[in-house]
Amino acid sequence: MAVPSGFAVSEDISRLSLEQERDPPHPPAPKTSGNGIVAFDITSKFTTAAETLSPGELVKDGFFTLFESVGALEIMDPKMDSGCLEAEDSLDVDYDVSRPLLPEEVLGIIDQLLCHEVSVERSISGFPC
């Protein structure tokens, strides 16, 4: 990138170019400060160990309890997800979405959507519903 003479461009800005062919710098090594903690990369060991597991197997330590396992439940697994429907089951009724609606029906849909929106906003902000 050519810079006209008389203009100063910082190193960071001068590297911002689509024509740049330099590799980006590597991230810094993790800080290994005090208290006897030594950080090292376990990615390859973890990947190798994970490849030995069969589907459905779990590696856990002695402190892993039922409380922690709740976070490991599989969504859309009929045995674990009470809201999961089989492929042939459906909650959808045969409803023609292309049919014209009466003004009262449109107003009812808008009213329900606003109620749901307010309910979500109240639950997010911490106010009781």
Higher pLDDT, 11 or 98: 98
Cβ proximity of 75 and 81 under 8 Å: yes
User: Rounded CA gap, 123 and 35, in Å?
Assistant: 42
Encoded tokens for 55: 């589907």
Supply the DSSP symbol for 24.
Answer: P
**For residue 4, pLDDT beyond 60:** no
Higher pLDDT, 3 or 88: 88
Which residue from 77, 15, 103 is spatially nearest to 1, judged by alpha carbons?
A: 15
Q: What is the mean pLDDT of residues 56-72?
A: 73
For the whole model, what pTM was predicted?
A: 0.28
Q: Residue 5: helix, strand or coil by DSSP? A: coil
Burial 102-121 (b: 16+ CB within 10 A, else e): eeeeeeeeeeeeeeeeeeee
Read off the pLDDT band of 129 (50, 70, 90): very low
Cβ proximity of 81 and 74 under 8 Å: yes
User: For residue range 13-32, what is the model confidence (pLDDT) as tens digits?
Assistant: 665 655 556 666 777 776 66
Supply the DSSP symbol for 29.
Answer: P
**For residue 89, pLDDT beyond 90:** no
Please state, as a whole number, how many other Cβ atoms lie within 10 Å of the Cβ of residue 34. Answer: 6
Residue position matching structure tokens 């810094």 = 28
User: Rounded CA gap, 55 and 52, in Å?
Assistant: 10
Higher pLDDT, 50 or 124: 50
